[in-house]
Structure 1
Amino acid sequence: MPVRLLAHALMIAACLFSGILALATPSYAQLTLRVGPGSQFQPMPIAVADFAGEGDLGQRVSGIITGNLQRSGYFAPLDKSRFPERPSFDAMPRFDAWKMAGAQALVTGRVTRDSSGRLKAEFRLWDVASGQQLTGQQYVTDPNFWRRVGHIISDAVYTKITGVGGFFDTRIVFVDESGPKENRRKRLAIMDQDGANMRFLTQGDTLVVTPRYSPATQDITYMSQVEGQQPRVQVINLETGSRQVVGNFPDMTSSPRFSPDGQRIAMSLQQGGNANIFLMDLGSRSTTRVTSTAAIDTSPSFSPDGREIVFESDRGGQQQIYAMNADGSNQRRISFGDGSYSQPAWSPRGDYIAFTKRRAGGFSIGIMKPDGSGERILTEGFHNESPTWAPNGQYIMFFRDPGGQAGGKLYMVDITGRVELPVATPSFASDPTWSPLLSETR
């Protein structure tokens, strides 16, 4: 159990998560950056001062925060050479000097150990123009969690200024690819969203594709195939390492995706020359067929409330996106643009559906509203596929293959289409899936 802290005059709320205790200070001012679709924002200049205390650990934590905010595309951290002072955590910053340096916001902090040896990290976010504190918190945790503390502070700063939920305290599961393109070794790998702490979940002795993170638990479902056998949907628990095959179907199963509560999996089951969508209850292992066509229905994705499913089907002659109630009723086509549509993924916020679109020899990543209206292309290229949402519904990660022998790499783009950048992986990568916030999983 985490060590409890005594609240003092500045601390008004407490929350407990994943071994980290946070105590929050009141907020006074309102410095905002609007980053919705159609926004013409400029990245906000922000200064993240080196955190004091505990050797170089404070500097490492502040480095995590700086890197996260810069990578979001919404902030422009000032270079330390422009800092007018090394602010003390317990004193008011020299706001006029920080304003002259070009900062609109300032983050200060301190990292120490309490009497039990646990790590205590504190931060304050300041509005430079008004000279007021926007928010501040302190966290007490095991010293091994120092990187997560940096991510959680990043989320608090990001959310306070943008009004959008955080996404830094997350992980990415993806397919790591090595070797020549004609004989790639594919392994499931997991890493923090900033590329740290990567490890392999499979050893490359089976073919693995389409991993999908549970929105509610630390479970991953994916398709696995042993040479000479039918592909099977599997589930791996990241905390225990336990693995299980989902169902014992005589034909190929593919494209698994969890329901929002993590209790069901929607998947595609091939039967002869066609495929249909089935739901499986993970507790009882009972299955329910929800589409029944002579076409190929695949890539199901639940709405955040679990009441609807979006999927792709070629029932009209080419791949298009369809939606239906979770019981299979009210099936209707929602994509009507030029080209073919595939790999739909419903945003965690429920406001958009991401998709892959193929037309004129290229592949695009785009979004549309759940009724198919408001289609917008976010990025285009030779080969872009496999969109997956950040838990805040503000960013989409995908993989891009430039063609030739090079192999794919991961990228992320925000829903405005103005922020696009590569995601660091040690080698070629494909099929990313984004975790929920780690503090919100069970």
Structure 2
Amino acid sequence: MGFKRRMQSATGIGATLGLGLALAMGAPQVALAQEPAPLQEVIVSEGVLRPLPIAVVGFTGQYGNDISGVIRGNLRRSGFFDPLNPASFIETGLSLANQPTFPQWTSIGAEVVLYGSVTPRPDGRNDVGFRLYDTYRECQLVSYQFTATPEQWRRIAHKISDVVYQRMTGESGFFDTRVIYVAESGTQLNRLSRLAIVDQDGYNPVFLTQGDEVIMSPRFSTSNPDEVTYVALGQDYSRIYLKNLSTGRTESLGEFDGQVLAPRYSNDGSKVAFSIIRGGNTDVYTMDLRSRELRRLTSDPGIDTSPSFSPDNRRLVFTSDRSGSARLYVMNADGSGQRPISRGGGSYTAPSWSPRGDLIAFTKQQGGQFHIGVMGTDGTGERILSSSYFEEGPSWAPNGRYIMFARQTRGGDTRLWTVDLSGRVIAQAGYDGRGSSPAWSPLLDAPPANLGYGQAPDSCPS
């Protein structure tokens, strides 16, 4: 197809609040009443290569059309696909037993076609099979079958989207994921914050806390999509919590002498890095989650905060104002070798190391605006991806190609947005409620016990 080559040639409000605090000094799950907004417009700006025209035919059987609709929405939001209007389809009623009539698809400009079926099983589950064909080479690109309970149809649609994305781009997908964030309600003077979680496309939002604490800096464990950490501020305390999303179990890392900020898991899930404001100074610490041993990594007389581990856990990036303005620094996991990497003007905050290991995302304040950008791990190649009145808190998708962040209007309305590494595909995230400090989960790779899958070999030459 050449699409992979074409694609490769294209080039948290809470974190800022945490820095501001440094400068200044277990609830039941409840479904949200708010429904997701209709599909947001995806802005693909000048210079981006043409998205791949794909025909996603309505699957036959229970929830078939719903599954197809979710797949279209996922692929469209990626910016790399252009799902064609089903009203333009000439051939309908495709069966898994038959190949498409290829000229009928090429005549409407479809370069690939996806179709499938939902078949009930005697045990109450469904088999969801699908095929993806290259219409010009007239060969099968991939064929898969999932088995799941009927209520898991949306999860299956996300997993099918991931298979299609990976087959056509050569990169892993990101659709079968969730986002944890701080849900906001109320007024500027009387604002309620709650920990919340939602599917990456904006569906199934759930509150995880009741609003009796101020919530900041939620983050997933990259080794376990069921484990999250966050900061909760009460009347006279600040605590770092660890929460298991499956069991609902919540535990505190303990009481600290000082204000705690910006926790982040190591990538093997064995440690949490965070900052403590103590005695007028703010430093980075790590805690071993087994032994609960606390280790101080920085001791400079400045504000050191927002640590983020490299994928191999050997280094951390963090923000420090020790030179007079907020800059990005890297250090070894034991605190040695601290050195600045950001080189441009302005203030740098909220660094986040890419899961690929090659880039660091950040927030930058300069020229009366806030910016989301990326740079190499040595500070070279800085690029700004998005700019506005106020935006903050970049979090990587698990494939390292997309970044979610919070954007605030002058009126104080904060929403979640996404941008790709080119900076040319930017959109409001699927969840349309007010929220900040988003964090993307790893792929939900381990399917439930009642969700199996199988794959047939491709017939297209590579």
Q: Distance in 1 between matches of 2:354 and 2:117?
A: 36
Q: Show CA shifts across 1:11-55 (max 9, x none).
A: xxxxxxxxxxxxxxxxxx77536334744421111010011123x
The alignment partner of 2:189 has SS state of helix
- The answer on whether the counterparts of 1:220 and 1:237 sit within 8 Å (CA) in structure 2 is yes
Aligned partner of 1:61 in structure 2 is: 67
Aligned partner of 2:18 in structure 1 is: none
Aligned partner of 1:14 in structure 2 is: none
1:34 aligns with 2:41: no
Aligned partner of 2:16 in structure 1 is: none
- The answer on whether the counterparts of 2:53 and 2:84 sit within 8 Å (CA) in structure 1 is yes
Aligned partner of 1:131 in structure 2 is: 138
- The answer on whether the counterparts of 2:3 and 2:52 sit within 8 Å (CA) in structure 1 is no
Shift of 1:371: 0.7
Q: Residues 153-168 of structure 1: matches in 2 within 5 Å?
A: 153-168=160-175
Shift of 1:245: 1.1
Aligned partner of 2:176 in structure 1 is: 169
- The answer on whether the counterparts of 1:214 and 1:220 sit within 8 Å (CA) in structure 2 is yes
Q: Distance in 2 between matches of 1:171 and 1:188?
A: 13
1:243 aligns with 2:215: no
2:394 corresponds to which of 378, 381, 387: 387
Cα separation, partners in 2 of 1:354 and 1:381, compared to 1, 3 Å: same
1:206 corresponds to which of 213, 218, 223: 213
Q: Using the aligned pairs only, state the percent identity.
A: 47
- The answer on whether the counterparts of 1:52 and 1:89 sit within 8 Å (CA) in structure 2 is no
Q: Distance in 2 between matches of 1:37 and 1:370?
A: 21
1:271 corresponds to which of 278, 286, 308: 278
Q: Distance in 2 between matches of 1:74 and 1:309?
A: 32
AA aligned to 2:333 is A
- The answer on whether the counterparts of 1:356 and 1:366 sit within 8 Å (CA) in structure 2 is yes
Shift of 1:284: 1.2
The alignment partner of 2:445 has SS state of helix
- The answer on whether the counterparts of 2:201 and 2:431 sit within 8 Å (CA) in structure 1 is no
TM-score relative to the length of structure 2: 0.87
Q: Residues 3-402 of structure 1: matches in 2 within 5 Å?
A: 32=4, 34-36=6-8, 38-39=10-11, 40-54=48-62, 57-86=63-92, 87-217=94-224, 218-227=226-235, 229-402=236-409
Q: Distance in 2 between matches of 1:30 and 1:234?
A: 47
Aligned partner of 2:32 in structure 1 is: none
- The answer on whether the counterparts of 1:408 and 1:429 sit within 8 Å (CA) in structure 2 is yes
Q: Show CA shifts across 1:131-167 (max 9, x none).
A: 1101111011222221111000000000110111110
- The answer on whether the counterparts of 1:235 and 1:245 sit within 8 Å (CA) in structure 2 is yes
Cα separation, partners in 2 of 1:303 and 1:38, compared to 1, 3 Å: same
AA aligned to 2:52 is M
Aligned partner of 1:15 in structure 2 is: none
Say which is worse superposed, 125-134 or 423-432, in terms of deviation. 423-432
Shift of 1:90: 1.4
Which segments of 5 or more consecutive residues in structure 1 lack a partner in the other structure? 1-28
The alignment partner of 2:168 has SS state of helix
Aligned partner of 2:442 in structure 1 is: 436
AA aligned to 1:43 is P
- The answer on whether the counterparts of 1:34 and 1:162 sit within 8 Å (CA) in structure 2 is no
Cα separation, partners in 2 of 1:307 and 1:197, compared to 1, 3 Å: same
- The answer on whether the counterparts of 2:239 and 2:252 sit within 8 Å (CA) in structure 1 is yes
Q: Distance in 2 between matches of 1:193 and 1:434?
A: 8
TM-score relative to the length of structure 1: 0.90
Return structure 1 stretches of 4+ with deviation > 4 angstroms.
none
Q: Distance in 1 between matches of 2:278 and 2:9?
A: 41
AA aligned to 1:121 is V
- The answer on whether the counterparts of 1:298 and 1:313 sit within 8 Å (CA) in structure 2 is yes
- The answer on whether the counterparts of 1:216 and 1:440 sit within 8 Å (CA) in structure 2 is no
Q: Distance in 2 between matches of 1:295 and 1:441?
A: 45
Which segments of 5 or more consecutive residues in structure 2 lack a partner in the other structure? 12-47, 449-462
- The answer on whether the counterparts of 2:415 and 2:432 sit within 8 Å (CA) in structure 1 is no
Q: Show CA shifts across 1:285-333 (max 9, x none).
A: 1111111111110000000111110000001001000001111111110
Q: Show CA shifts across 1:347-384 (max 9, x none).
A: 01111100000001100000001111010000111101
Q: Show CA shifts across 1:80-119 (max 9, x none).
A: 1111111222111111110011111110111112222211
Cα separation, partners in 2 of 1:316 and 1:37, compared to 1, 3 Å: farther
1:423 corresponds to which of 425, 429, 438: 429
Give the superposed CA RMSD.
Answer: 1.5
- The answer on whether the counterparts of 2:117 and 2:128 sit within 8 Å (CA) in structure 1 is yes
- The answer on whether the counterparts of 1:345 and 1:355 sit within 8 Å (CA) in structure 2 is yes
- The answer on whether the counterparts of 1:31 and 1:127 sit within 8 Å (CA) in structure 2 is no
- The answer on whether the counterparts of 1:124 and 1:136 sit within 8 Å (CA) in structure 2 is yes
